Amino acid sequence: MSKTDSYIRAVFLIISLSFLLLIGCGKTGKADLDLPIKAIKWGSSQEDAVKALGTAKEEITQEGLTQLLWSDTRIWNEKASLLLRFDTTADNGLFYAGITFPELNEEKLVQHMKKEYGEPVRKDGTIYIWENKSVGDLPDTMQEQVKQALLGDSSEIQEGIWNTILKEPLVRISLQGNKLLYDAEHMALVRKLESN
pLDDT at 154: 62
- Label residue 108 by pLDDT band (50, 70, 90): very high
Mean pLDDT over the full length of the chain: 82
pLDDT digits (tens, 9 = 90+) for 114-124: 999 999 999 98
How many residues are listed for the chain in this entry? 196
Helix (H) or strand (E) holding 13: helix 3-23
pLDDT at 155: 64
Q: Is 27 left (phi over 0), alpha (psi -120 to 50) or beta?
A: beta
Q: Could you give the CA distance from residue 182 to residue 188 in angstroms, rounded to a whole number?
A: 12
Residue range 16-20: mean pLDDT, rounded: 31
Determine, yes or no, domain membership for 156: no
- Number of domains observed in the structure of the chain: 1
pLDDT at 106: 93
Determine, yes or no, domain membership for 70: yes
Determine, yes or no, domain membership for 35: yes
pLDDT digits (tens, 9 = 90+) for 148-194: 888 887 666 677 888 899 999 999 999 999 999 999 999 999 998 98
Residue 181: give the domain boundaries: 27-133+169-195
